Amino acid sequence: GQQLNQSPQSMFIQEGEDVSMNCTSSSIFNTWLWYKQDPGEGPVLLIALYKAGELTSNGRLTAQFGITRKDSFLNISASIPSDVGIYFCAGQFDNTDKLIFGTGTRLQVFP
Amino acid sequence: ETGVTQSPTHLIKTRGQQVTLRCSSQSGHNTVSWYQQALGQGPQFIFQYYREEENGRGNFPPRFSGLQFPNYSSELNVNALELDDSALYLCASSFQTANYGYTFGSGTRLTVV
């Protein structure tokens, strides 16, 4: 099935560092979403983006909807141990459509 | 307000068998979507149910079928299980079909041997 390209695949960083990850698609989306998944749990929505060029923050998290509508970026500032997990981007053609998920970025934070 | 609950949490089946997975949607949600997440991959859309009818389907064969009940709970049925069906099956509920309101359950881990 179709999946979006996410990079990097994994990151190993020290507590306090900033993190950046991105997601690209060959298709244009109307909505971009970022999720975090902890082991043994379902994905939890972090940020939703609805307009090209939109920049949205949620605490230490900031995400942007790319101007071409084919990409999105997620930044985490001042990482903490509880940021550990797998981060997924997801694209949506319209708000009644299925989600198309990325391949995931696994984040490890060391004290 | 209860979230999305799925049962069972883990299941082991033999190739060729049939399996039924269950999902109770979050209070106030009337739409249920099912996703398959293979190890190391992102979730893949299987289908969505709204008002007890299938409302969209991903690239999955007919042996994957579902039901939605009047209380908005849902079942995912898989017939003639194959080894590649081993995955985490996630249920997500939302109000109407607006997916930005998705709440995911913790999933059912299915292992086919």
- Asked whether the beta carbons of residue B102 and residue A4 sit closer than 8 angstroms, the reply is no
> If pLDDT is split at 50, 70 and 90, which confidence band does B95 have?
confident
- Asked whether the beta carbons of residue A3 and residue B104 sit closer than 8 angstroms, the reply is no
A40 closest CB neighbour out of B40, B100, B106:
B106
pLDDT tens-digit map of A59-92: 999 999 999 999 999 999 999 999 999 999 999 8
- Asked whether the beta carbons of residue B107 and residue A3 sit closer than 8 angstroms, the reply is no
Rg of chain A over Cα atoms, rounded to whole angstroms, equals: 13
**Structure tokens, A109:** 């934070």
Work out whether strand B53-57 and strand B19-24 pair parallel, antiparallel, or are unpaired: unpaired
pLDDT tens-digit map of B48-90: 999 899 988 999 999 999 999 999 999 999 999 999 999 999 9
CA distance B62 to A13: 44
**Structure tokens, B95:** 């109000």
